[in-house]
Structure 1
């Protein structure tokens, strides 16, 4: 069948806002969501910054009886999915045969943390009876299915920081294969727990001052949280119901480095980009903008720049490249979803997100990173990169309609 896939709805929750209008306004203004960590006992932590979702009150979004059954990462997923479905103009009654593919890198870490505190710090002998269904990696997908009455294919994708892009790719494949006409997909994560922060601290890739992707004085990533979700439809279905089409999802590309667990490969990343362009039937010369993985680590930024050189050759200098992680932080499995949303809006509005906090180019980082200030420019094709630990790569190609 191989029907063309389009995007008709966007939803997000992030440190930049509790909805997509707030998120996009912050992105365009180059406003950072990275602040000192608050809200839990962080004594003994070396990590003191994060892009937290602030002023998020679960009781505003959910019945009080449901809140105790929803881990924070599931809450984010539901709020973002509802927004995307509302924008798409889809009623709950029409979602019975739809799909939901939800990416996560961590799953219910808040639930895990509370359980370990209960058992080991408080010396209790029993865990809460809903510990497993609340904290399991598939909990968010299950809650999306139940609360939005989605009865088609529903499952979780977990590939670290590429989870959202892999989830979107799987959703698109379901539509192109004729399995469903409508799918909601993206990623969600809520990693701000003491245990997980100590684990990230041990990796020594987290910045103590700020996130400065591609800059010479970059000092690492800054963790974030939230969710980014999109509604995908077959073009035939969207047009048939008179939906407003935002962009076309022209192609997806995936690859594995098959190399090192934490050291990225330019060759592996380049193969994912090339696969996405081939799937889209486009050439590298067609691409105007790249929403980079852009973590702010020494290894990623240099390797991603090299991958772009490999794919785009002499045309690479005309590319605009930026990292929105400089604003919303590295939200792990949610990052690709937030970045996908930003890329869609860049195409729709002709505004290229900036890489904020940029100082001077780092060694091996010699591209146009749209430093510090958004740029108004009509674009027609953009790609969004996600390159995860373990060498798991996923790239999307988006095209204006």
Structure 2
């Protein structure tokens, strides 16, 4: 059932779409308006408690990551549109309720429905769709709540439960600095290696490094090595956000100090173990184990190495990241694919050789104005005539794609279009 959205939200979206049309043309403006309305009307359900459940599109579950990234394009409008801010607040409340229920789960049902990705998984909690532990599942809701607060000045989302969840996030990230002492296990019988964890569900061995362990990547694939570098830097940025909320909203100086100290631990761990030499340059590895294992790659799903200026802007080493970007967007990255139509980053999560529009959008958002314009039009031109942005597609044949409705990809396209619109308006003002 479609969600009825406030007329002022529709007007806000209509105004934004008009600006996109003026900057980029009617077709892209139409795609953006349709996607922004579709996300609000068709992925969000308001519960009896006033919180909001967000599906990914064609999967009827709520991911902590996706439900945040799906809302990213709207953040710039919160101050001018209170009903939109209220809707984002409702999503944040549901995210915190999910984390309060199970901070190790990555995806949840809309209540205790008993639906599961794999019914035979060890976790039989009827509220949980899947219990793959991914560090970004803790970081994304925190950063969304922080962005909402900074945009509006409202502390409505920061109730007693949110305070409790903030402590939980810090405690869990700290606990997983010593993963062998953790109770978390994940095994999926008969699964391919990316869908289960080795060593009886504990994952491959890791040393204590100061970083925090993750069982799975933002792609929902199992980590090769337990310390995912982009996830650690994103978590470090989220911990700074927790500290600011703890100190300025709750007056909880102990939590603030703990979050800041842990953030420094993660950054120090990355600097000591996650920056490696590659072809004469210092680059971020994608994953390490602290025992000598290093994985050089990048994945389309965020947090990715390519996305670090967006997700860890205060903590990323700019020189190292620039060299990492050059690596990620080259054949040296085993998941950088070239085709007759497009070249870009893909993921082992989908068929070999597929490019992901999410990665194309991130490439633009972290690149130049010319990059943004080129990649925006490229994504629009590779929608296979569906009017929707897909999870992945064959870079030589965009009609061969995965997931007919993937709301996260829609939203990343919208975010890129709004950034291009900003570029055009800035150029016009400077001219």
* TM interval, short-chain normalised: 0.3 to 0.5
Q: Of the two structures, which has the highest relative contact order with CA contacts closer than 8 Å and spacing of 6 or more?
A: 1
> Scaled by the length of structure 2, what TM-score is found?
0.33
> Scaled by the length of structure 1, what TM-score is found?
0.34
Which has the larger share of helix?
Answer: 2
